[in-house]
């Protein structure tokens, strides 16, 4: 047998041995317990505190905003879709203020409202952001809680 083949076979055996050693030390003990994933992942998931509180939690304090929102096109969206997760605000109402949608930019509104040929035009009002009120914030003219009303 040529010496190159012997060296290559030895290198291959060393590589496989290194792989199996690393696999042994790096694979969690609960891996494969309930299938091809970590069994402890289920327990860890139960311990996580939900970041999103849901629309009912917002309505408890902000019923005036809920009335406005429920009367317009955004009624099916959760408040947290635009304002972000509310858990911290609810747990510390006095110290944490929920800001307007972040970032308050045209691109933010454009996530849903920019023209998109793949999206049905009758589902969501689509705007050509390159042409519609160039350089202005959407909230200068539109109130997201009452989008049909202009604010000035």
For 139: left if phi > 0, alpha if psi spans -120 to 50, otherwise beta; the answer is: alpha
CA distance 37 to 135: 49
Per-domain residue ranges for the chain? 3-47, 50-62+75-99, 100-152
For 53, 63, 65, 78, the CA distances from 60, given in Å and listed in that order, are 11, 6, 11, 14
CB-CB neighbours of 53 under 10 Å:
19
CA distance 76 to 114: 19
- pLDDT in 10s for each residue of the chain, 152 residues: 899 999 999 999 999 999 999 999 999 999 988 888 888 998 888 888 778 888 888 888 888 888 888 887 778 888 888 887 888 888 777 766 666 666 667 888 888 888 888 887 777 788 888 888 888 888 888 877 766 565 55
Q: What is the pTM of this model?
A: 0.53
Q: Strands, DSSP E only, in the chain?
A: 142-143, 146-150
């Amino acid at each position: 047998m040529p010496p190159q083949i012997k060296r290559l076979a030895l290198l291959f055996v060393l590589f496989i041995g290194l792989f199996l050693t690393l696999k042994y030390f790096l694979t969690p003990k609960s891996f494969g317990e309930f299938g091809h994933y970590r069994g402890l992942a289920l327990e860890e998931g139960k311990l996580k505190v939900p970041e999103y509180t849901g629309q009912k939690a917002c309505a408890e304090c902000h019923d005036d905003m809920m009335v406005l929102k429920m009367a317009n096109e955004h009624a099916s969206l959760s408040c947290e879709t635009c304002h972000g997760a509310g858990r911290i605000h609810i747990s510390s109402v006095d110290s944490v203020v929920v800001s307007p949608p972040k970032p308050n930019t045209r691109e933010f509104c454009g996530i849903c409202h920019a023209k998109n040929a793949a999206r049905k035009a009758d589902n969501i009002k689509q705007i050509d952001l390159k042409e519609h009120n160039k350089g202005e914030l959407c909230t200068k003219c539109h109130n997201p809680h009452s989008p049909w009303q202009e604010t000035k």
